[in-house]
Amino acid sequence: MKIPPVKGTRDFYPQEMAIHNWIVDGWKRASLRNGFEEYDGPIFEYLQMYQIKSGDEIVEQLFSFKDRGDRDLAIRPEITPTLARMVNQRINTLPKPIKWFSVPRLCRAERPQKGRLREFFQWNIDIIGEDSVLADAEVIFTTVDYLREVGLTPNDIKVKISSRKFLSAVLKKIGISEEKLNSLYGLLDKKTKLPAEAFSEALIQQVGERISEQVISFMGSQSVTSVENIVKPDAGGELDIAIKELEDCASRLGQMGISDYCVFDPGIVRGLAYYTGIVFEVHDIQGDLRAICGGGRFDNLLHDFGGPKITATGMGMGDCVLEILLSEKGLLNQKISARSLDYFVLPVADNLLDDTIKLVAQLRTLGFKTIFSYKSGSLSKQLKTASERNAKYCIIIGDEFKAGDIVLKDMSTGNQKTVPLNEFLANPGKF
RNA sequence: GUGAGAGUAGCUCAGUUGGAUAGAGCAUCGGAUUGUGGUUCCGAGGGUCGAGGGUUCGAAUCCCUUCUCUCACCCCA
């Protein structure tokens, strides 16, 4: 009986695995060179961990189960709660700021679609315990540092940056009450998805005609300062502070040399209520994929999980959308070869198999990727196999071997030379 | 959860008004080729035509049911 793969999962055959590893290795390199340390946690936690900051709808999209002790558990749909738990447990002994990263495998029971599966990997970086906007800038830089390394240019992607503090200050100044903010965020987040008329209709329904005009005008702002045409900040007030933060962030990003990747966009809201400061998303420039990643500052992360009031800022990037984008941009093919070999050792006759195996073992011990053929087919056939396997060199064990010599063939040029085996083994790189 | 589209070999697809043993390219394996690879030529294996039921002398093709996948919506931590 044939059992199909589970909906929304992927099988990583060697070629896909090579691509996947290349992506994950890049994430890890970028994290490490930006000063982040790797951590990980269990792939399941108490179900309650994911109920703290989320509603029932999100709980429905969890893979949850009971263990034999009747405990309610869930496979992790995100790693942030685990991070909060781990940091809280050692909050007094960890040196600040805490800069950690992880590449967890996550599961969400959502309906799969383009760029979204039920099992995926997500690169997470977080800086905990640093209030300065510099930390937000560093998170954004690390993100761009990676995306730039894999070959994405400012013509391919943009980091769209805004601030929850800024947004809330503007909206309150326009005359929207604090209680209405959260439901309004939901609408503003959808602006790019809705036709302009539908958006403005929905907006009028929420805040009335006069205010909605101002909101629409604000949502069209191209720069942070242009908001002053709509509302005037009071010196030292919430809006004033938020504007300074955004400007400060932009100036840091300039110092880091990535201004050409970054743009202010008041339409970046982010779904969840818990963001409190700078928020950002990276989008492909055509805008036909969902966000490549998203992040921002959240003040209450540790506190929500029973810890102190320490702020955090971070970013999460899934592997699905990224891979689609890289593939569309042609950035996957050449760089990744699933198989490559240093040596392919081939005996021309069955009675040379013993010596072949000895040599193969010696080369492997020296650290070279080396294989041989199980079948002692014709030389021509074995060379063909070696060529298919992308071997850099072939070592032919033939008549010369009686005199202690091997034939070393460079597969890229076709040149070959006869070399004494003991000299070769003493310094294989020399040949 | 809602809506639309699609299911034929490992992959990409053909398959006439419903007609006999369901085809091609790529991939895999073997041979031409037992001391020289990438090319070429020849051959082989591989299918419950997603599944179940119905109409018919006869179904990959028409009808019903169901499953799966894709895309969009909800949601997006």
What confidence tens digit (pLDDT) does each residue in A363-407 have?
999 999 999 988 777 888 899 989 888 899 999 999 899 999 999
What confidence tens digit (pLDDT) does each residue in A11-66 have?
898 888 889 999 999 999 999 999 999 999 999 999 999 987 766 667 788 999 99
Domains of chain A: 14-41+79-328 (3.30.930.10), 341-430 (3.40.50.800)
A207, A180 contact by CB (below 8 A): yes
Nucleotide with minimal C1' distance from the CA of A290 is: B76
Which residues 6+ apart lie within 8 Å of A386 measured at CB?
Answer: A341, A344, A346, A394, A411
- Looking at residue A1, what is its pLDDT? 58
Nearest residue (Cα to C1') for B67?
A4
- Looking at residue A93, what is its pLDDT? 95
Which residues 6+ apart lie within 8 Å of A265 measured at CB?
Answer: A160, A161, A162
Residue A4 tokens read as 């199909």
Which residues 6+ apart lie within 8 Å of A37 measured at CB?
Answer: A99, A100, A101
What confidence tens digit (pLDDT) does each residue in A304-344 have?
899 999 999 999 999 999 999 999 888 886 556 656 789 99
- Distance from CA of residue A353 to its chain's centroid? 46
Nearest to A161 by CA among A277, A281, A314: A281
Q: Measured between alpha carbons, how far is residue A54 from residues A58, A163, A184, A332, A407 in Å? A: 6, 21, 18, 36, 67
Distance A7 CA to B16 C1' (A): 37
| Chain A 112..141 CB hits on strand B (< 7 A) | 112-116
**What is the side-by-side order of every strand in the sheet holding A44-46?**
A44-46, A72-75, A64-66
Chain B nucleotides near the protein (CB, 7 A): 1-2, 28, 30-38, 68-77
Does the nearest atom of strand B lie within 7 Å of A430's Cβ?
no
A315, A295 contact by CB (below 8 A): yes
A267, A279 contact by CB (below 8 A): no
What confidence tens digit (pLDDT) does each residue in A134-186 have?
999 999 999 999 999 999 999 999 999 999 999 999 999 998 888 888 888 88
What ipTM was estimated for this complex? 0.88
Distance A337 CA to B60 C1' (A): 39
